[in-house]
Structure 1
């Protein structure tokens, strides 16, 4: 039993800094091994999440409440016994060995690495059945002495572990950006080699004569195991996309106008979806210039706000009154059905007449991830503005950014 144990120096085998550098090289090598078409076609966010989750370090954490002890006898050569014992150096004598088993979770491999900073301490240990095992040779057979030695071990273990956890957390915090940087660098090299653009930038820009802020006219009365993403497309084709900065500005404009609706419920509470849609257009249209045509935004049906390019939609917003989570999910389905290009953008604008606005916000947060095309939660701008990631029907690599904006316009 004794000779089968895989002993190692706790926090003493290899510098963590060296291990971190090796991990980053491994990430770069894995990305470099992917084919050109895979890199160009794969959903960037999904692939970054896949690599990040694959290389993330899971912190070791010890469960001191469930420590248990075992014992066995071991023959030790006399020259290793304390001098006070009358033994011969070249003979072996049996002695009790007390083994403390400390359960833990996380990556056992990390317990071998030397943190930076470090304390000048390590001990010989081994792993058995997800327990860190530390042995104490009980020459004197005094329980109090064994207990004191183990307490000293635990104290040093915690200090050194805290140093290591600091290194692990710094590594994990920057991991996503490291993966993203390597992926984008690989993609850029491929595009330059093939003289391609990742996407055809649609020629839209903010008008120069529009101020960063605006006021809405006031009426006379008072106005959140990961599988590797698969790719079905054989060849990458550049597709038009709306610049992310323009998209964010469009959504911010919609949000600012919608908040004005909330401040003036008497003016807007009785208006229909189509009229409220037109009010958004009143402020969107003059803020952006389309170099190809005069009209940047288009209307389609009663509630849609569109930006079209080469007869396809690159942006669409749908205005709806809140009629429950089922209708909300159906609106998202309708919205995604209008889009075909990679990296499309969209918005769901919801007018809430319910008195309990908080309940509607909670419902949106709880039900959005139930949509079959849901990829993930991006962020929450504030209590009534959520950003999500969805995919076009049948292809997870064609991502759609969807902003969900809710405005409280109770009936008066």
Structure 2
């Protein structure tokens, strides 16, 4: 194949973004409104992320074979009188292993050299770039120079290509998210307009009740498209994300204070530590006189913020008692929730000496929970963030923070 010669990479990336947009636009309104956003984003990311080609020159290997070479291929100094006559010559073959999608080398990046169009052979079975050189002179240095020239041609625009693909991949999640949100906003505006007409709306009957999972191809990534059972969509209250982070930061500040003053908080029960957190949270937030809602304690160890009889924020406070109890705490917390996009925190107090070991255990075991979707960026060494689904409805996703504090 000819490298950096087929088309511009920018055209390819633009077509990929358009394909993403068309995929989202082709979904039914019920699907877009009800699907778990994080799961759908991960599904589209896995399908449209480009696999950057990696060329492993550090793992190159060589072999040789004999081949009949016509006289016309010989250098002038050999003075071959009959150009059609063939002569057996050794062929030195370099095999450069690669990984990723090597076909992307066909495209010209945003910046490319005049070496574009250089021909290379690809062996997809062995996943190697194959470079062959006729050993006319039995001169190892000449062969090595020819190989080094080829590598220079291959890598001439490679870094620019890699940078352009990485930029596309890194921006893909935000592009998908903004496209989904734009479609949801258009649907909501249309729904509000239709509702303002004051007459019943007849739903289309051809919308399928479920959506099939595409059958994976051999050696391809397995793409699992989230399944949604179509139903009416009801807007649900959600705690503003900025306020959620502020709540978690206050909890984290109080927890760090527990660690700084162990003599004050040593021997306290879960309820006592919970009350310290509650007393700090409550005066910092005002959620409106209309609902009269504020932080409250509704169980033995939890802190809740409720709206219209449903929980939009809950923090469950527990001492660390091992993996099983940790997962049971998450089960208990999830049991409070009915709304999509509820915000939660599991606050764990650790008396064990090996606090770092407990942190690592918690980070590993939480991924085994059946409602775990994905890990998000951590805010601190002891504050981890996750996306979970609500039991019995995998499309209702909630944010779950795990905040852990050492109380010897």
Q: What residue number does 2:363 align with? A: 365
TM, length-normalised to structure 1: 0.83
Q: Is the 8 A contact 1:378 1:389 kept in 2?
A: yes
SS of the aligned residue for 2:51 comes to coil
| 1:39 equivalenced with 2:32 (yes/no) | yes
| 1:286 equivalenced with 2:283 (yes/no) | yes
Gap regions ≥5 residues in structure 1: 1-7, 197-224
CA-CA distance at 1:250 after TM superposition = 1.3
CA-CA distance at 1:267 after TM superposition = 2.1
CA-CA distance at 1:398 after TM superposition = 0.8
Q: Deviations over 1:294-331 (max 9, x none)?
A: 34122212111111222221111111112122111110
Q: CA RMSD in A?
A: 2.4
Q: What residue number does 2:54 align with? A: 61
Cα distance in structure 2, aligned partners of 1:331 and 1:174 = 36
Cα distance in structure 2, aligned partners of 1:69 and 1:166 = 33
**1:255-404 mapped onto 2 (5 Å cutoff):** 255-291=252-288, 292-404=290-402
Q: What residue number does 2:22 align with? A: 29
| 1:103 equivalenced with 2:86 (yes/no) | no
| 1:117 equivalenced with 2:111 (yes/no) | yes
SS of the aligned residue for 2:120 comes to strand
SS of the aligned residue for 2:192 comes to coil
Q: What residue number does 2:199 align with? A: none
Cα distance in structure 2, aligned partners of 1:142 and 1:157 = 23
Q: What residue number does 1:48 align with? A: 41
Gap regions ≥5 residues in structure 2: 194-221
Closer/same/farther in 2, CA of residues 147 and 283 from structure 1, 3 Å limit: closer
Q: Deviations over 1:229-277 (max 9, x none)?
A: 2212433222121111121111111222222222222222232222222
**1:142-291 mapped onto 2 (5 Å cutoff):** 142-195=139-192, 225-291=222-288
Cα distance in structure 1, aligned partners of 2:355 and 2:134 = 67
SS of the aligned residue for 1:372 comes to coil
Cα distance in structure 1, aligned partners of 2:189 and 2:309 = 28
Q: Is the 8 A contact 2:60 2:94 kept in 1?
A: no
Poorly superposed stretches of 4+, deviation over 6 Å: none
SS of the aligned residue for 2:314 comes to strand
Cα distance in structure 2, aligned partners of 1:289 and 1:163 = 51
SS of the aligned residue for 1:240 comes to coil
Q: Is the 8 A contact 1:95 1:139 kept in 2?
A: no
Cα distance in structure 1, aligned partners of 2:263 and 2:360 = 26
> What is the number of residues matched between the two proteins?
373
Cα distance in structure 1, aligned partners of 2:283 and 2:50 = 50
